[in-house]
Amino acid sequence: MQPFRTLTAPAAPLDRTNVDTDQIIPKQFLKRIERTGYGDFLFFDWRQTASGEPIADFVLNQPRYKGAQILIAGKNFGCGSSREHAAWALSDYGFRVVIAPTFADIFFSNAGKNGIVLARLSEEQVAELLHKAQTKPGYQLTVSLEEQTVKDSEGFKASFEIDAFRKFCLLEGLDDIGLTLRHAAALDSFESKHDHAGWLKAK
CB 89 within 8 A of CB 25: yes
The CATH architecture one would assign to domain 6-172 is Alpha-Beta Barrel (3.20)
E strands along 60-164, which residues? 70-73, 97-100, 117-120, 140-144, 149-151, 157-159
Q: Which of 18-22, 65-69, 138-142, 180-184 has the lowest mean pLDDT?
A: 180-184
40/169 Cα distance (integer angstroms): 27
Q: How far apart are CA 94 and CA 62, in angstroms?
A: 16
**Looking at residue 176, what is its pLDDT?**
59
Helix (H, G, I), strand (E, B) or coil at 99: strand
Question: For residue 144, what are the CA distances in angstroms to 83, 87, 182?
Answer: 27, 20, 25
Phi, psi dihedral angles at 81 (to 5 degrees): -70, 165
Give every CB contact of residue 107 below 8 A, 6+ residues apart in sequence: 21, 77, 78, 79, 82, 86, 87
Q: What is the pLDDT of residue 68?
A: 98
- Alpha carbon distance 181, 53 (integer Å): 45
The Cα angle at residue 155 between residues 154 and 156, in degrees rounded to 5: 100
Enter the pTM of the model: 0.86
Task: Kindly tell me the burial class for residue 189, based on how many C-beta atoms sit within 10 Å of its own C-beta (0-12, 13-18, 19 or more).
Answer: exposed
Map out the domains of the chain as residue ranges.
6-172, 174-203
Residue 80 confidence (pLDDT) above 70? yes
**Is 89 or 1 the better-scoring residue by pLDDT?**
89
Q: What is the DSSP letter of 52?
A: S
17-27 mean pLDDT: 96
What pLDDT is attached to residue 36?
Answer: 83
Q: Cα(156)–Cα(141) distance, rounded to whole angstroms?
A: 9
pLDDT at 177: 55
Does 31 have pLDDT greater than 90? no
Q: Which range among 21-25, 78-82, 183-187 has the greatest average pLDDT?
A: 21-25
